[in-house]
A and B are shown apart, each in its own frame.
Chain A
Amino acid sequence: MKAADFAYEKPGNLADALALLADPDRDASPLAGGQSLVPMMNFRMAMPDLLVDLGALDELRGIAPGAAGGLTIGAMTRYADLEASELVATHAPLIAMALPHIAHAAIRYRGTIGGSVALADPAAEMPALMLAMDAEIEAQSSQGSRRIRAAEFFTGIYDTALAPGELVTAIHITAAPEGRRFAFYELARRHGDYAMAGVAVAATGTNRADPRIAFFSVSDRPVRAIRAEAALQAGDAEDAMAALDEIDFAGDLNADARTKRHLAGVVLKRALGRL
């Protein structure tokens, strides 16, 4: 299908974009890479009155070393830019591991990190990576700016802690401690399709201290498996598998909740094998 009609603006700077998004009388939607929003518009699942194209906002692009060894990634940075980045490979290896699984080359030339985080598709990789890396999401509105911890950002299916008029402008990734290890695994019907289940894992050293286990495509949002993390911290990977019942599994077109529970165990086992 084709998108329903809308008004279109392409502001030349962030302040103008935020002013357009702040108008309470218009159902305005920011357009980043459009690789999720445009198909949703073509299906008429999304019918914004006003599309605010962020394509001219070069200030939202780029990958820079952050404070204390971390990384700051502009929201409009494309997946293709992340793939080509030495900084990402060094300081955010989880992102580098996940990128080849995120859709296809043609999508990665347009899709952006900020767009994926703001959309909060429960089947997308990037939101779960934010949880596993304890990332912070910077949001700006015409009122000012704030940082939201990933753990508080994803609140439901396509739902986030963003207030009306707030735009994701950057992702802040804190420096990983010495010896931090990462693993990523997903199951998909076809390479690049949305995962049937996937997981991102981080832990420190061979004893897997301070673990993070974040699943995607198993529930209505990306979820951390807190009890499984505790079991892993205690040194028992089998207990970690058993603890996954804490997750509120939700089925989709591919698989029901029971199958999702099973697949979560499969991807976690395989990811731990790579950690």
Chain B
Amino acid sequence: MAQTRMIRLTVNGETGSYTVPVRQNLVDFIRNDLGLTGSHVGCEHGVCGACSIEVNGDLVRGCLMFAVQADGAEITTIEGLAESGRGAALRAAFTARNALQCGYCTPGMLATALDYVEGGGAADRDAIRAHLSGNYCRCTGYQSIVDAVCDVIEGRVEA
């Protein structure tokens, strides 16, 4: 039988206690147990970036952490970024630039782009591409995503 542990954590400002199988990864817990399905699951080995979320302020892969490791952590998902408005400028820019088509990579792409923007990243296309290099998009060809990030950094977006 799967071994379980009780964890207590805060997700998008709401604190709760949950019993989780120790083998359950964090993004599955967020999607299946909390019902926050904005975070996507792609490759399950840390390559595609679709599950990128924020844990204690750091951008991480939700598939490369077990939920039990997040005991005591503060987590922000794409839903939290939307509610707080932190991701508003990027969301507006992605829409304006048509920086998504199917939308599967978008939550992880926004989280990673926000890490870059909030970290004081410059509107340098090569640097933006390097920072986003861990997030796959199979639709856009990335040009419009880089455009959107530049727009936010250079203040061309009304959030």
| 55-94 of chain B: CB within 8 A of chain A | 58-61, 63-66, 68-69, 71
Which chain A residues border B59 with CB–CB below 8 Å?
105-106, 109
How many A-B residue pairs have C-beta atoms within 8 angstroms? Tell me. 96
Question: CA separation between A178 and B32, bound complex, in Å?
Answer: 57
Interface residues on A, range: 20 to 34
* B147 within 8 Å of A (CB atoms): no
Which chain A residues border B68 with CB–CB below 8 Å?
8, 10, 53
Question: CA separation between A53 and B66, bound complex, in Å?
Answer: 10
Would A43 and B61 be within 8 Å (CB), given that A8-B22, A53-B69, A105-B131 are in contact?
no
* A191 within 8 Å of B (CB atoms): yes
Would A38 and B64 be within 8 Å (CB), given that A106-B134, A192-B134 are in contact?
yes
Partner of B60, one of A42, A43, A110, A192: A110
On whether the beta carbons of A3 and B61 are closer than 8 Å, the reply is: no
Question: CA separation between A152 and B129, bound complex, in Å?
Answer: 38
Would A107 and B58 be within 8 Å (CB), given that A7-B22, A39-B46, A55-B69 are in contact?
no
Would A42 and B44 be within 8 Å (CB), given that A6-B3, A8-B22 are in contact?
yes
* B52 within 8 Å of A (CB atoms): yes
* B130 within 8 Å of A (CB atoms): yes
On whether the beta carbons of A38 and B66 are closer than 8 Å, the reply is: yes
* B133 within 8 Å of A (CB atoms): yes
On whether the beta carbons of B23 and A110 are closer than 8 Å, the reply is: no
* A1 within 8 Å of B (CB atoms): yes
On whether the beta carbons of A103 and B134 are closer than 8 Å, the reply is: yes
Partner of A191, one of B45, B115, B130: B130
**CB<8 Å pairs between A and B, sample of 22:** A2-B23, A8-B5, A8-B22, A8-B66, A34-B65, A38-B25, A38-B46, A42-B63, A53-B69, A55-B69, A104-B49, A105-B115, A106-B59, A106-B61, A106-B112, A106-B115, A109-B58, A109-B60, A110-B58, A110-B60, A191-B130, A191-B133
Residues on A lying within 8 angstroms of B by beta carbon are 1-8, 10, 31, 34-35, 38-39, 42-43, 51, 53, 55, 80, 100, 103-107, 109-110, 190-192
